[in-house]
Structure 1
């Protein structure tokens, strides 16, 4: 299994990167997010997903693990193939995608080429809890106002503790973020105790 390819960026288009490693040029399918991230660089490191089919062996490259994790989650959804997942990740940033899934915004997902209403709904239902569990979601937006930054370390530990206690990640995330916005210096134990009283 190839974990990543590191070497000289020999060729780059918005859909493909060729990385020269030890005299071998690896052609990797990329999203627009990765294209933007590596544009202008001479040396690159791309995390890899290998798609092995009867008629083809295709490599997909990602500038960071977060994007690859999202790609893997997307292709786990019934009806979403590798090219569709790449299309989704080219249409929006990983944080935007997480926000749309977290808030159940099927309208935006449905607007992406190749995604129908049922597939958009399936993506939201299948991945809403998973993106929180994996820690690759951003704060769930509240009421359209700019949310104050929160202590991610405390947030992650509190969410992990609540998950172990059997609470669903999505409602836990909302409550924990709200507590940390009101009490930025709260310790993990305090956040968990307060969250236990507030999670419905």
Structure 2
């Protein structure tokens, strides 16, 4: 299993990054929090989680070990897959997610697409003790980088939303707040879709 990948960023969007190292480009799925950390950089070092399936080898990358640890805890819960865990980490930063689980706030978890009442309760029951033990390493800050409406829409489509639905929501958010960052637009859209 891979521990980390360090190299040059050759392509980047809010849902994935391509990192070139030793002449090989690695396609890595990322959360919105990781995107915020590496956006604007030429090089990145990402902590990796590899999922091996019959039909694919999929890499998930994280800017911080803590986020990867939370991701691994989430996918250990029955009914939570890697894509759902990435969606959760894109909707909530690691601190918000930890706080929701340790305080037993199922409503915060249910606000994430794909998380129903039963799954939210299962996450809380399975991870409350584990999240209490994860050391606090500080708040992940979202960078204030202006990007286009097109990039937000592209990220939502890559996350599995219908383009038509995503376009309506993104357009409405941009009208409400024309100066919103791409991260902000995507987070709001994830709560509305």
CA separation of 1:105 and 1:137: change in aligned 2, threshold 3 A: farther
Segments of 5+ residues of structure 2 without an aligned counterpart are: 139-193
Tell me, in whole angstroms, the C-alpha distance in 1 between the residues paired with 2:136 and 2:129: 11
1:43 and 2:68 correspond: no
Of 125-134 and 63-72, more deviation after overlay is shown by 125-134
Cα shift readout 1:124-149 (whole Å, capped 9, x = no counterpart): 111011012232588xxxxxxxxxxx
How many residue pairs were aligned? 138
Which structure has more relative contact order (CA 8 Å, sep 6+)? It is 2
Q: Which residue pairs with 1:118 in the alignment?
A: 118
Q: Which residue pairs with 2:84 in the alignment?
A: 84
The TM-score, its normalising length taken from structure 1, stands at 0.67
Q: CA RMSD in A?
A: 1.2
Q: Which residue pairs with 1:179 in the alignment?
A: none
The TM-score, its normalising length taken from structure 2, stands at 0.70
Give the SS at the match of 1:121. Answer: helix
Tell me, in whole angstroms, the C-alpha distance in 1 between the residues paired with 2:55 and 2:9: 27
- Contact 1:99/1:137 (8 A) holds in 2: no
Q: Which residue pairs with 2:57 in the alignment?
A: 57
Q: Which residue pairs with 2:98 in the alignment?
A: 98
Segments of 5+ residues of structure 1 without an aligned counterpart are: 139-200
Q: Which residue pairs with 2:13 in the alignment?
A: 13
Tell me, in whole angstroms, the C-alpha distance in 1 between the residues paired with 2:64 and 2:111: 25
Tell me, in whole angstroms, the C-alpha distance in 1 between the residues paired with 2:14 and 2:136: 24
Over alpha carbons, which structure has the higher Rg?
1
Q: Which residue pairs with 2:2 in the alignment?
A: 2
